[in-house]
Amino acid sequence: MKAISVKQMSLAAIMTAVSCILSPISINIGPVPISLGTFAVCLSVTILGRNLGMLSYLLYLLLGFIGLPVFSNYGAGVEKLLGPTGGYLIGMIFLAFFGGYAVDRFSKSFIKQYLGLAFGIVLCYLLGTLWLGKVLSMDFGKALSVGVLPFILPDAVKVFLALALGRKIRSRLSFLQAE
C-alpha cells in the first residue's frame, strides 16, 4: 500500500469536515429524513477516490460516534448508530467503497461512475431497510416504503450533482490524478 501524502490527508480531512457540515442538514419526512449525507459521501469519493473517500467517511462516522452532532438532524452518538437510521449510516460504507471503486476504475466515464455510485446506494438502501425494519418492527415492504421509495429520486439527483461537481474539482487537483 502506498503512503498517504500530507496533501491527501489534508484533503481527506477537508472532505470529512464537508460531510460534517452537510450531513446534519435534513428534512424530516418520516422515520428516515432526507439529508445531504448522500451528496457528501458521493462528493467525497468522487474527489478522493475509494481509499481516501472511505477514510473520510469512516472519520465522519467516528466523529458522530464519539458525540459530535454530525448525523441527520444534528444527531450523534451510539444511539443514533443503533437507532432506526443506523443501517443507512453503516450502509454508506458500501457506497464509499463501490462508488469510489467506480470513480477510480472508470475515470473517463461519467455513466459508469454514476452506475457505481448508484450500486453503492442500492446496497446502502438494502442494509438500511433491513435495519429500519428490525429496529421499528416493520415488515420489509413497510420499511422499504418509508426508508427507500421517497429517496430514490432525490438521491439520483444528489448523485448526479455530486459526481458532476466532484469530477470538476478532482480534475483541478493534480496530485490526485495519479491515484
Residue 96, domain extent: 6-174
114: in domain: yes
* Average pLDDT for runs of 10 along the chain of length 179: 86 97 91 92 97 97 97 94 96 98 97 98 98 98 96 97 97 70
Residue 136 per-residue DSSP state: T
17: in domain: yes
Q: What are the helix (H) ranges across 66-147?
A: 78-82, 86-94, 100-105, 110-135, 140-147
Instruction: Give the CATH number of the domain where residue 129 resides.
Output: 1.10.1760.20
151: in domain: yes
Helix axes 110-135, 152-172, angle to 10 degrees: 130
Q: What is residue 1's predicted lDDT score, i.e. its pLDDT?
A: 60
- The pTM score is 0.93
Work out how many domains the chain is built from and give that number: 1
Q: What is the pLDDT of residues 76-126, one digit of tens each?
A: 999 999 999 999 999 999 999 999 999 999 999 999 999 999 999 999 999
